[in-house]
Homo-oligomer: A and B are copies of this chain.
Amino acid sequence: MITKWPKLVPFVVSVLTFVSVLSAEAIAEIRGSGDLGLVVERTDGAVKILETSTNRFLSRVEGLGDLSHASVVYSRDQRYAFVFGRDGGLTRVDMLKGEISQRILQAGNSIGGAISQDGRLVAVSNYTPGGVRVFDSETLELIADIPATYNDGQSSKVVGLVDAPGNRFVFSLWDAGEIWIADMSAPNAPEVTRFQNVGVNPYDALITSDGRYYIAGLFGEDGLALLDLWHPEQGVRRIIPGYGKGSQKLPVYKMPHLEGWAIAGNHAFVPAVGAHQVLVIDMNSWSEAGRIEVKGQPIFVMAQPDGRRIWVNFALPDNDTIQVIDTESLEVIASIQPGTGVLHMEFEPRGEEVWMSVRDLNQVQIYNTQNIEQIATLPASKPSGIFFTARAHRTGL
| Chain A residues within 8 Å of B, Cβ to Cβ | 28-36, 52-53, 74-80, 95-97, 117-119, 165-167, 210-212, 230, 264, 266, 284, 305-308, 328, 349-352, 370, 389-390, 392-395
Contacts and interface: CB of A to CB of B under 8 A. Distances in A.
B351 A230 contact: no
A91 to B, nearest CB: 17
Contact of A53 (B76, B167, B351, B370): B76
Task: State the oligomeric state as a number of copies.
Answer: 2
A391 to B, nearest CB: 10
Contact of A393 (B75, B77, B118, B393): B393
A328 B230 contact: yes
Given A33-B33, A76-B350, A266-B266, 11 more contacts: A32-B75, A32-B78, A32-B95, A35-B78, A35-B119, A78-B78, A117-B352, A165-B305, A165-B308, A165-B350, A306-B395
Contacts of A80: 32
A221 to B, nearest CB: 29
Nearest to A211: B306
Given A32-B79, A35-B77, A307 B395 contact: no
A119 B53 contact: yes
Contact of A210 (B119, B307, B352): B307
Given A33-B34, A34-B393, A350-B393, A76 B96 contact: no
B96 A32 contact: yes
Contacts of A34: 33-34, 74-79, 389, 392-393
A74 B78 CA distance: 15
A307 B31 contact: no
B33 A32 contact: yes
A395 B33 CA distance: 19
Contact of A351 (B30, B165, B389): B165
Interface centre among A96, A264, A390, A393 (most CB of B within 10 A): A393
A350 B393 CA distance: 6
- Nearest 5 pairs of A and B residues by beta carbon: A34-B78, A32-B79, A32-B77, A349-B393, A35-B77
B53 A77 contact: yes
Contacts of A328: 230
A33 B166 contact: no
Nearest to A35: B77
A31 B77 CA distance: 8
Nearest to A185: B370
B395 A97 contact: no
A203 to B, nearest CB: 26
Contacts of A97: 30
Given A34-B389, A96-B30, A350 B79 contact: no
A32 B36 CA distance: 10
A305 B76 CA distance: 15
Contact of A350 (B96, B306, B307, B395): B395
A268 to B, nearest CB: 14
